[in-house]
Amino acid sequence: MAESFQFELVSPERLLVSEQVESVVIPGAEGEMTVLANHAPVMTTVKPGVVTVRTAAGATERYCVFGGFADILPSGCTLLAESAVSTGSIDREDLAKRIRNAREDVADAKEAATKQKAQEYLDHLTTLEAAL
């Protein structure tokens, strides 16, 4: 049995997870990363995607996150999400609305940097939609 550590997933609305886990897969800005017990300290931004949690009891849970930050320490991991929901309760209408809004942001962007950032967000959302 793998060593466990404390994981917390927090959104502005509520605390979604606070428990001992064996591993967490986070969609980091630089790519997916797996967090295990005694991980080296890291702070990373989180892009829209799916967080996969393997609990100490052996269950697997998945959550959709829409950006945020993860603070990883040897003793635990805290993910502060801009928005997060369990994949089982994902509102596909809300996701479709976010994609429509992101497409509008890309079309309305006047500056190259603004357009690029909007396009990256749209790409993350469409990747998330495909993963579900």
Residue 80 identity: L
* 59 and 96 fall within a common domain: no
Is pLDDT above 70 for 49?
yes
* 102 and 75 fall within a common domain: no
Is pLDDT above 80 for 120?
yes
Is pLDDT above 70 for 101?
yes
User: Nearest CA to 28 among 85, 84, 75, 67?
Assistant: 67
pTM for the model: 0.77
* 76 and 97 fall within a common domain: no
In the chain, alpha helices (H):
92-108, 112-131
pLDDT cut 70: percent of the chain above it = 98
* 48 and 101 fall within a common domain: no
Q: How many angstroms separate the CA atoms of 23 and 51, rounded?
A: 10
pLDDT band at 127 (very low <50, low <70, confident <90, very high): confident
Which value, in Å, is the radius of gyration of the alpha carbons in the chain? 16
* 104 and 46 fall within a common domain: no
* 15 and 80 fall within a common domain: yes
Q: How many angstroms separate the CA atoms of 44 and 89, rounded?
A: 26
CB atoms within 10 A of CB 57: 10
* 75 and 13 fall within a common domain: yes
* 10 and 71 fall within a common domain: yes
Range of the domain at 117: 91-131
* 110 and 66 fall within a common domain: no
Instruction: List pLDDT tens digits, range 54-95.
Output: 999 999 999 988 889 999 999 999 999 998 888 887 778 888
Q: Could you tell me the maximum CA-CA distance found in the chain, to the nearest angstrom?
A: 54
The pLDDT of 28-40, averaged and rounded, is: 93
Confidence (pLDDT) at 5: 96
* 22 and 57 fall within a common domain: yes
Total number of domains in the chain: 2
Indicate the helix (H) or strand (E) that contains 24: strand 15-28
Confidence (pLDDT) at 1: 61
Q: How many angstroms separate the CA atoms of 58 and 35, rounded?
A: 16
Residue 83 identity: S
* 80 and 41 fall within a common domain: yes
